[in-house]
Structures are given as C-alpha cells and as structure tokens.
Chain A
C-alpha cells in the first residue's frame, strides 16, 4: 500500500509570494499527478509527471523518483490560486489503473 503525504496541510500566503507544496510517497510509482480543486468543487489536472520537471505558466512541478518526492511551486502567487492542491500517485502494486491520493493542501492567497 502506498502512503502519500503532503505538506503543509494548510498554507496562507500574500499575493506575489513564491509557494511550495510537497508530496512524498512510500512505494515506487510510475506516475504522479498534481490536481487542483477549486472552492466550487471542480477538480482540474495540473501536471502528470514520471520524471524531471514540468512548467505551465506560473506553475512548476518537479519529481525525484529516487527520493520518492515531488514539489509543486507557484511563482508570483495570486488570490485566484486559492484552492486545494492534491498529489496523487499511481503504478504501485503493479496496477496501472489506480491512483492513491494525498489529503491535499489548502492554499489561501491574500491580496
């Protein structure tokens, strides 16, 4: 069973700050997802990583497979970034059809 730990659980920042959210997992995986859940409840996929680093606009995601760790960075944070950010991993236990989720990080960006 893969344990997925996210930190911090809650994060409050001022607009413009650089944000980092961390995700660690216990068992080797094939892919890691970063998801964003808006206050209204909808879930959007931000990144899917199997190695290295990806960038999309102000968002950067990195993964270190050896250390079983991933980070999500937000540069120049904005109040519209306020959401729950969820890390999910897949491929452990030989199943390609199952994601295991972290408990999420609630980010609040104040103007």
Chain B
C-alpha cells in the first residue's frame, strides 16, 4: 500500500502540449505539496495545499495549475509546456505543515522535447 503515489512515473511530450500529473495520498494528511527538482538535483517548492486550499504559490508561472478535488488528491496540470519545464516533479504530504514528517511520492520525470 503506497502512502503517496504519483502517475505517470515518466512523461515525454512535445513543446506546447498540455499534460497532467496526478498525486494521491492515503495517509489522511491535511497538507499536500508539489516540488520541482531540476537537472542539478535542486529541490524547490511549487505549491502547498492545506485541506484543498492553496496556501503557497511559490512564483510558479500561470501555466502550472494545481487542483485539489479533495484533501487526498493534488493534481498538477501544465499548459503550453516549455523545454525548461523538464524536471522531476515530486508530490508530498504531511499531517499539518512542515513541522511534521514529509512523505514523498516516487516522482514524475517530465521530459519536454
């Protein structure tokens, strides 16, 4: 039973396309996150959601639109993909906020050609 799952694991697409990454957690946590890990392996927060409400939007382009239909799911939709969007995207969850242990999904490697 995977605690935090993401689909797909790999995503290869052309520039200009629209794609979505799905994330689900079965831990009963209130807060979910999206992180981006660039080619240099540097992690950076993109979004934080608490009980389906957006808390943090860390200067992410409008082309990225997170959606949380319920507190167990946080999906990431990306419009008009650009080469610079190529990265590994990690979903994570925690009970309340960063003062709790973070549980990470396996990551989605996005390659934009």
Q: Contact between B90 and A97 (Cβ–Cβ < 8 Å)? A: no
Bound CA–CA A33/B107 (angstroms): 19
B107 touches A98 (CB 8 A): no
| Interface SS of A by simple majority | strand
For residue B64, CB closer than 8 A to chain A, the reply is no
CA distance A43 to B36 in the complex (A): 13
Q: How large is the interface on A (under 10, 10 to 19, 20 to 34, 35 or more residues)?
A: 20 to 34
Q: Of the 9-residue stretches A19-27, A58-66, A69-77, A87-95, which lies at the interface with chain B?
A: A87-95
- Inter-subunit contact B55/A45 (CB<8 Å): no
Is A96 an interface residue, CB under 8 A from the partner? yes
Write the chain B residue with the least CB distance to A30.
B99
Give the docked Cα–Cα distance between A84 and B88 (Å): 15
B1 within 8 A of partner (CB): no
Chain B residues with CB under 8 A of A43: 90, 92, 104, 107
- Chain A interface (Cβ within 8 Å of chain B)? 30-31, 33, 35, 37, 41-45, 48, 50, 84, 86, 88, 90-91, 95-101, 103-104
What are 6 of the A-B contact pairs (CB < 8 Å)? A45-B102, A95-B56, A97-B98, A98-B48, A101-B42, A101-B44
